[in-house]
């Protein structure tokens, strides 16, 4: 999914009559117009969830929850001229009201579908030359603490507030040329706002009710399915040209948790009814609605601040644990998109899908193609877990386990 900010010149006004009030177009390559506009164009597939903080990551479909875009405009000397450049009454951040809201499955992001635009008028600028615009889009101002500023890449830092779940932030920059105080006629400048966080999805089916405890060699109740990452980051820089621009702590961190006693309404009765049968899996009804699932499955996801791989350490692991956190079974997650590697960077605008789910509200991928159907990881089998990457994101990795 990508967001775009277009800065374009308004066409030169035509000479309508001969008077002192007439605007006469300037001839030649440097022709300008009496007014300039910024056209903010959002190009992404909305997921139909509407405006909300910390929107759920429940599929790899193209989506966003941006409600505001903050602009910074710098002149050729690097001076911030944003306030002077925006016309009176234009608020900054700019409230984003243009949508879009229709769903978009991976690969279903044609141009100009899922585009919406808002136009922001500019005052006549005081000096000519090349201007730089930096923009970032977000849902809530409290999602991150933003510091720094400037025309260079990675001039801003977004820091995650303590104990707050990661949210989306999109950012980018571009330049435009000003002649006679206005954007040069016939030129356009596009600022592509790219997502600066990664996405992670866990989708599993056939969770065993019992698993042999390696410490006692006796059957034990599976109370949690947990996904761990090899590192965790709490800040990143923008507008970045780097795929990984967060600083990780190189510490194993729980990133997804399924508390089966909470998720399964009859958890106690299911666990007491099977005796010592290690072949039984939890009975979980299928879900329909905004988020649909296949029977006997669990689904969750979140955003992650990018982090670099930790040498010789598997990037993601999945664990079955009992009520006290004892590990009953562990799988390494492998990246089939990287020849089965277990150790890899978590990059911005990449979607890491452990089990495949393309569209939130259906289990068939939103199409009649059987290859698009939901494919949760089967935890009742000794198998490999794989990651996938979506083209609405930069890449979607379908991950596997081993």
208-233 average pLDDT score: 97
Q: What is the pLDDT of residue 393?
A: 64
Sequence-separated (6 or more) residues with CB below 8 Å from residue 79: none
For residue 155, pLDDT over 90 is answered with: yes
Greater confidence, 138 or 112?
Answer: 138
**Contact by Cβ (8 Å): 294, 376:** yes
- Residue 60: closest CA among 382, 365, 369, 401: 365
Based on DSSP, count helices (H) and strands (E) in the chain, helices before strands.
Answer: 3, 25
What would the pLDDT profile of 169-220 be if each residue is shown by its tens digit?
A: 988 888 888 888 888 877 766 677 778 999 999 999 999 999 999 999 999 9
Q: What is the pTM of this model?
A: 0.84
Residue 338 sits at φ, ψ, to 5 deg, of -125, 45
CA distance to 125, 170, 360, per residue, from 178 (Å): 8, 26, 45
Q: Among 9-18, 238-247, 248-257, which is the least confidently predicted range?
A: 9-18
Rounded CA separation 58/358 (Å): 9
358-367 average pLDDT score: 84
Q: What would the two tokens of residue 195 be?
A: 């997502």
Q: What is the pLDDT of residue 99?
A: 58
Beta strands in 180-252 (DSSP E): 182-183, 188-195, 198-205, 210-212, 219-221, 224-229, 233-238, 246-248
Sign of the CA dihedral with 239 first, then 244, 250, and 252 last? positive
Tell the residue number behind the tokens 């999945």, with chain if given.
Answer: 318
Q: What would the two tokens of residue 57 be?
A: 């990551």
Rounded CA separation 238/241 (Å): 8
Rounded CA separation 292/374 (Å): 10
């Amino acid at each position: 999914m990508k967001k775009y900010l277009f800065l374009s010149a308004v066409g030169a006004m035509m000479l309508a009559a001969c008077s002192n009030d007439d605007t006469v177009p300037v001839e030649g390559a440097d022709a300008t117009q009496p007014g300039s506009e910024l056209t903010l164009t959002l190009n992404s597939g909305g997921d139909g969830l509407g405006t909300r903080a910390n929107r759920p990551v429940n599929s790899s479909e193209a989506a966003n929850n941006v409600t505001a875009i903050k602009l910074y405009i710098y002149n050729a000397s690097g001076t911030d001229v944003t306030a002077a450049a925006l016309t009176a009454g234009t608020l900054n951040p700019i409230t984003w009201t243009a949508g879009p809201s229709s769903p978009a499955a991976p690969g279903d992001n044609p141009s100009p579908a899922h585009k919406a635009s808002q136009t922001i008028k500019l005052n006549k600028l005081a000096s000519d030359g090349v201007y730089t615009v930096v923009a970032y889009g977000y849902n809530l101002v409290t999602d991150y603490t933003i510091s720094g500023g400037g025309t260079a890449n990675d001039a801003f830092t977004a820091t995650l507030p303590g104990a707050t779940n990661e949210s989306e932030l999109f950012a980018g920059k571009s330049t435009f040329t000003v002649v006679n105080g206005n954007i040069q006629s016939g030129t356009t400048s596009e600022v592509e706002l790219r997502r600066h966080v990664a996405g992670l999805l866990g989708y599993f089916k056939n969770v065993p009710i019992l698993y042999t405890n390696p410490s006692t060699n006796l059957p034990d109740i599976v109370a949690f399915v947990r996904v761990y990452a090899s590192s965790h980051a709490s800040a990143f820089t923008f507008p970045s040209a780097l795929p990984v621009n967060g600083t990780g702590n190189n510490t194993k961190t729980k990133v997804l948790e399924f508390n089966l006693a909470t998720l399964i309404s009859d958890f106690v009765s299911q666990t007491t009814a099977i005796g010592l049968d290690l072949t039984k899996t939890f009975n979980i009804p299928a879900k329909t609605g905004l988020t649909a699932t296949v029977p006997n499955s669990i689904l969750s996801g979140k955003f992650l601040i990018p982090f670099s791989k930790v040498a010789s350490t598997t990037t993601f692991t999945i664990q079955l644990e009992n009520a006290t956190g004892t590990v009953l079974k562990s799988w390494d997650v492998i990246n089939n998109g990287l020849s089965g590697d277990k150790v890899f960077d978590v990059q911005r605008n990449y979607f890491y899908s452990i089990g495949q789910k393309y569209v939130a509200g259906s289990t068939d991928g939103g199409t009649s193609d059987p290859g698009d159907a939901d494919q949760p990881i089967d935890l009742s089998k000794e198998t490999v877990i794989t990651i996938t990457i979506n083209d609405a994101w930069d890449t979607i990795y379908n991950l596997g386990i081993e």
